Structure 1
């Protein structure tokens, strides 16, 4: 049986004893029905993993005893920041989950002219919390020991205007460049994925003004969630750790 991996939101210390977070305790105690003496693996986002033994289980809490932490670096050498115009329903959750499995470091949900998602106030706050939980669960599943950040929602232009040294890419079905024609080496990428209806002509012009390069994935028009994962995979094959 595979040893369950559990994220702990506070720094872990060698040979300490602690209670799991409420969400983790519910998963370990009620879902997995684990008992004292069984093993877990804990990580806190510091790129360390800690072997842990369950010492106590009750209705609302689980306590564990940690061994010494060990560095376990499963991060890609490619620093990839995904700007994803929000998609409807479970599509956004799917994109977040799978892009993290593929090695994305940061995700910023975006608003654009053709964005079909309308969230504000408390609903938006709850959605961001839900997305961050999805990010944690994806790391627990795939073996990453750093949890990517799900940033606050911002406008497309705000995100494009942020200054950094990344290679800035925008997927466009009529672009003349492909990922395979991009020059090596590349260590930082800012990848823009538009909404289900695509970016408007004015938005595409705006991205060009902020230094984004239009790139083409292939001859077929892909759905927004397919586009994100295909582009991330292609970038990881060329510049990252997929081969």
Structure 2
């Protein structure tokens, strides 16, 4: 009798976790689709108009990047308490990121973009499966990857403003792939921990948006890193 009850509880937990992952990936798919469509429209239809608007802004594209950072902070703070607002913010972020991404994609050929997208998708998928299924605790790796990310950002800024080395940029891009591949695995394991913490609580809906944002950022940064690797002269 007790074994049957345990099996029923386990089945309900597995079903609930699967539903949670489905919701996260639905948000993630919507976000990536919105970004892709926005990038296409900006690059091939409204490039001149959008470029003119951005040039008229006080800080230009930098202001858009600052807005993206502000949205990430906002979503991190509001996702749990206000899921509806979080969804709207995530959609807005996907659109804005599509605009900024388009100004990067115009420098690459369609072949390079396709190769980078496939490489990012495969890397993301492999690490997602690993993070979801491994029994090893990835907390230490996740912390190490976050620390490495800070180092990558610092070195990248130094390279952009002072060193300006293509060789260093390639090295940074390769390290970036490893960092976000590791974070992808860690975040997938953390999704399981989040579900176990919240269960069927109302906060779980907002956490789905927050988790989708984390995975979205991982994928986009993988894409950008592979673009720099495949698109080098």
- Asked whether the two chains share a fold, i.e. TM above 0.5, the reply is no
Higher helix share: 2
TM-score when normalising by structure 1 = 0.23
Q: TM-score, structure 2 length as denominator?
A: 0.24
